[in-house]
A = this chain, B = another copy of it.
Amino acid sequence: MLSTMQDDQLSLAHLLRHGSTLYADSEVITWTDAGAKRQTYGEVGKRAAQLANALRGLGVTGDQRVGTFMWNNAEHLHAYLAIPAMGAVLHTLNIRLFPEQLVFVVNHAEDHVVIVDGTLVPLFAKQLPEMRTVRHVIVANGDPATLQAPDGVQVHGYDDLLAGQPETFDWPVLDERSAAAMCYTSGTTGDPKGVVYSHRSIWLHSMQVCMTDSMRLDQSDKALVIVPMFHAMSWGMPYAAMMVGTSMIMPDRFLQPEPIAKILAAERPTFAGAVPTIWQGLLQYLEANPQDISHLREVVVGGSAAPPAMMHTFEEKYGVPILHAWGMTETSPLGSVARPPAWATGQQAWEYRYTQGRFPASVRARLIDDNGEEVPWDGDSVGELEVKGPWIAASYYGGQDVDPDKFHDGWLRTGDVGKITPDGFLTLTDRAKDVIKSGGEWISSVDLENHVMSHPAVAEAAVIGVPDEKWDERPLVAVVVREGQQVTAEELREHLKDKVAKWQLPEHWTFIDEVPKTSVGKFDKKRLRSAHAEGKLDISHF
């Protein structure tokens, strides 16, 4: 028996109309050389309609892909809304990909048009000749004349192209499972792989972002959206914001600690989201340049593990609670969020907050051991995390077969290894590829990193496994010392003594200037491992 409910399709066309009408006064604020540039959601609705009309004029039909090579700014938001709402597919390009990866993803997705920010033209122009399907490039926030395009590619100015276009568009409503947007994984563990989100998955995910068990985005919030819009859809913030009328502050290319501090002071956001390295940088800056940031009611941190020491500093010194969350490009990305159980207080609440978090109802999880068996949620048994749900990938774009390394029986294999408590809190101990196996036992690199980083003289620490004759593998700790501070490997080993089991105490240490980072600011252990393999690291042993 079917229900008598309407067979209504979840659609980003509805989202665009909703946000720009009911929340016409909310704002998207873009940071520029000259300070804040403001645009209301009412205007965003009109610009999105103009962009859709313009793209139609350039021949964009059906589910053609339109790429964006942009910072976080108002124009990028227009693209986020207009492209899926008109029935085309938004392809956010990671501006920090290696050149050959950029060319690979544009060709793989067959992007027809790409919108490029003026300041990124030099970076983009070099690869343009190799992009086989691109017919039009639209330059936003800059001069189109700066772009030398090869034959067969037309260049347009964003504002010129939109000028005079109608401010309404007859947005179609499609099957909700249709492609709306696509994003390639960041390539930490291999070639970028395309994840294609649907209107349905984005709608459901946006609702989740505004739920009490997740980010609680609200119309009274002003969210500083630091996570790049090309990285896992900016963690869903732009779409969720349109759903409930949250104003957004877009930092454009001003992502260094100093301009971020300036934006915080000028706009006093109530919410923000970024990877740990951004916040570590800001903390260091604030130490030298104190500033009140308690207007932030909460900051969501994910993408890699939020070091507990950093969480404490934020909360205890600056009055800003950090909300730790886990996700992947393949999970839209919201996978789990560390809101402690209501009854937990004090250190117990902290212990919950350190974890990667609890799963929302729409995400199901299981842990699978090396034999392919499910292990229990006992807070102890470790396995590879697999997840299932309406905003989780079932395959990669254009994959001939569903890769059994990545998908298993309808579930996504996350490549993350960890444990889950009976009440559903996930603790990741490692990436499957980063796991250190010493004498048959696992050592968590994440755990060691967090403990080393809790030392006041340490700015950053990354742990990798290195070959060992006796134990197979042993941890090597790469340490970045905080500016103006000093610390020795022996002191750090001493610092760990009451924190980890004796057999886990690392005997290999190296001091480096910076942990190599991926395109989205995560520790790049691949590069650290090759540096070690090539003998480029100066190591002290005990």
Contacts and interface: CB of A to CB of B under 8 A. Distances in A.
A63 to B, nearest CB: 4
A70 interface: no
Contacts of A245: 213, 341-342
Nearest to A219: B342
Contacts of A359: 18, 22
A156 to B, nearest CB: 25
B208 A2 contact: no
Q: How many copies does the complex hold?
A: 2
Interface in A300-358: 339, 341-343, 358
A540 to B, nearest CB: 45
A34 interface: no
Given A1-B89, A243-B361, A389 B422 contact: no
Interface in A378-418: 388-397, 410, 412
Given A1-B196, A4-B394, A364 B212 contact: no
A198 B14 contact: no
Interface in A489-540: none
Interface stretch (A93-101, A176-184, A436-444, A460-468): A176-184
A131 interface: no
A37 to B, nearest CB: 20
Contact of A6 (B3, B89, B388, B423): B388
Contacts of A179: 1-3
B207 A216 contact: no
Contacts of A388: 6, 8
A219 B213 contact: yes
A21 interface: yes
A52 interface: no
Contacts of A206: 361
Interface in A256-304: none
Q: What is the predominant secondary structure among interface residues of chain A facing chain B?
A: loop
A70 B211 CA distance: 30
A43 interface: no
A244 interface: yes
Contacts of A22: 358-359, 423-424
Nearest to A218: B212
Interface string A188-207: 00000011111011011011
A61 interface: no
A62 to B, nearest CB: 8
A450 to B, nearest CB: 25
Contact of A5 (B8, B18, B63, B196): B196
A25 B341 contact: yes
A245 B425 CA distance: 14
Given A8-B392, A179-B1, A393-B6, A244 B423 contact: no
A390 B3 contact: no
A5 B393 contact: yes
A390 B10 contact: yes
A395 B63 CA distance: 33
8 contacts: A1-B89, A2-B177, A2-B196, A4-B397, A24-B422, A204-B207, A211-B212, A212-B216
A-B pairs with lowest CB-CB distance, top 3: A3-B198, A22-B424, A220-B342
Given A1-B89, A3-B196, A4-B195, 11 more contacts: A1-B179, A2-B179, A3-B177, A8-B389, A8-B390, A25-B343, A212-B218, A212-B219, A213-B244, A245-B341, A245-B342
